[in-house]
């Protein structure tokens, strides 16, 4: 059979029939220069249906399907989420601190002394709550969890505090049920050293801790230094701490090598009890050889403990601030009498 209609017949493309259509849509969605900067449409329109209604009201009748096609083909738009990549204002000594920290790591590694990266994971609700991610289950049989994330008064929340041993690719996690304080952080370090670190490094006399600049192990936290001084005295080891510059916590090794793996391991699994949290963390492994020990810390760690000037002065003989950024880099030694 021959052609049913002559060439060029039929409905014209919307962009041909209305030469101003593309510009009208562009004016609504472009967030920078084009369009009316006072128009709330530029910031509130999310769907192609809303865009189609707005453009049609402005004299350019169009369907939502056509709007989607124009966005993708003519304007090269696509649906995208936010991506964290802007670090904000950088500290002038940012790169120098990274070089200093790396040199400290190399020095300790050459002497076969432990180097650990520490940090607390975000607090986790315990109970039958939705956990992000997916896990394999029988078809059409998702695990049912609570609709709302109201905290369970009995189970509450837990705070995992981790110590990642860079040399051994080994994690130690204390799962706390109380507040995330400096005392809790150092209690986790003490537990790691007493139960694993000392045996793994029997000849070590020094320990290097790489930590973020904020949180329970903040370089401004006096209690953090007081508790570390006690640990240095009790364990008979010299403890050096190097903090990451402000705004650079994502470079802390524990984030990628431990916490990211823990999150992947328990994805899609409700954290229904404290024991489940501990077991899921402890079961975390990777192809590169990561292994993790996890245990529950049922101790109490009250917030708001103040450290006086006299208490800081008492550890003065133990505390040595380094010449380069002594606020970020410092060493705590055992008392000389030991």
Q: Indicate the angle between helix axes 48-57 and 21-29, nearest 10 degrees.
A: 120
Paired strand residues for 77? none
137: number of CA atoms within 13 Å, CB side?
A: 11
Q: What pLDDT score does 336 carry? A: 77
CB count within 10 Å of CB 325 equals 18
Predicted model pTM = 0.73
Task: List the pLDDT tens digit at each of the 338 positions of the chain.
Answer: 555 656 655 566 777 677 888 888 887 775 443 344 444 444 444 578 888 888 898 888 999 899 888 888 888 777 666 666 555 567 788 899 999 999 999 999 999 999 999 999 999 999 987 778 766 567 766 777 777 778 888 889 999 999 999 999 999 999 999 999 999 999 999 999 999 999 999 999 999 999 999 999 999 999 999 999 999 999 999 999 999 998 888 889 999 999 999 999 898 888 989 999 999 999 999 999 999 999 999 999 999 999 999 999 999 999 999 999 999 999 999 997 44
Q: What is the share, in percent, of the chain residues with pLDDT greater than 70?
A: 85
Distances from the Cα of 292 to the Cα of 119, 165, 265, 284, 288, angstroms: 15, 10, 12, 6, 13
Dump pLDDT digits (tens) for 269-293. Answer: 889 899 999 999 999 999 999 999 9
How is the chain split among helix, strand and coil, in percent rounded to 5? Answer: 35, 15, 50
Alpha helices in 90-221 (DSSP H): 94-110, 182-192, 198-200
Q: What pLDDT score does 82 carry? A: 66
Q: What pLDDT score does 7 carry? A: 61
Exposed (0-12), middle (13-18) or buried (19+): which is 158, by Cβ within 10 Å? Answer: buried
The structure tokens 């930590």 sit at: 211
How far is the C-alpha of 183 from the C-alpha of 77, rounded, in Å? 50
Distances from the Cα of 43 to the Cα of 32, 118, 140, 248, 319, angstroms: 11, 41, 38, 31, 53
């Amino acid at each position: 059979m021959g052609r049913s209609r002559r060439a060029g017949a039929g409905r014209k493309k919307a962009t041909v029939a209305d030469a101003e259509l593309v510009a009208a849509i562009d004016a609504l969605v472009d967030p920078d220069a084009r369009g009316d900067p006072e128009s709330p449409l530029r910031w509130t329109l999310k769907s192609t249906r809303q865009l189609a209604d707005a453009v049609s009201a402005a004299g350019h009748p169009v369907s939502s399907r056509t709007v989607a096609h124009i966005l993708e083909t003519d304007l090269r738009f696509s649906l995208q989420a936010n991506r964290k990549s802007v670090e904000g204002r950088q500290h002038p000594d940012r790169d120098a601190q990274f070089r200093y920290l790396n040199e400290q790591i190399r020095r300790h590694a050459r002497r076969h002394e432990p180097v650990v990266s520490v940090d607390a994971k975000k607090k986790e609700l315990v109970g039958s709550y939705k956990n992000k991610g997916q896990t394999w289950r029988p078809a059409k049989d998702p695990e049912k969890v609570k609709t709302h994330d109201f905290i369970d008064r009995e189970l509450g929340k837990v705070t995992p505090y981790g110590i990642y041993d860079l040399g051994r690719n080994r994690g130690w996690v204390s799962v706390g049920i109380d507040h995330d304080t400096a005392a809790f952080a150092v209690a986790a370090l003490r537990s790691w050293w007493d139960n694993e670190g000392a045996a793994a490094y029997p000849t070590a006399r020094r320990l290097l801790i790489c930590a973020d600049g904020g949180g329970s192990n903040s370089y401004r936290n006096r209690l953090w230094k007081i508790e570390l001084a006690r640990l240095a005295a009790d364990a008979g080891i010299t403890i050096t701490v190097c903090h990451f510059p402000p705004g650079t916590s994502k470079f802390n090794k524990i984030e990628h090598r431990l916490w990211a793996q823990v999150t992947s391991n328990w994805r899609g699994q409700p954290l229904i009890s404290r024991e489940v949290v501990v077991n899921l963390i402890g079961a975390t492994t990777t192809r590169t050889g990561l292994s993790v020990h996890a245990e529950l810390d049922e101790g109490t760690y009250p917030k708001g403990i103040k450290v006086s000037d006299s208490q800081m002065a008492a550890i003065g003989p133990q505390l040595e601030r380094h010449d380069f950024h002594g606020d970020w880099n410092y060493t705590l030694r055992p008392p000389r009498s030991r």
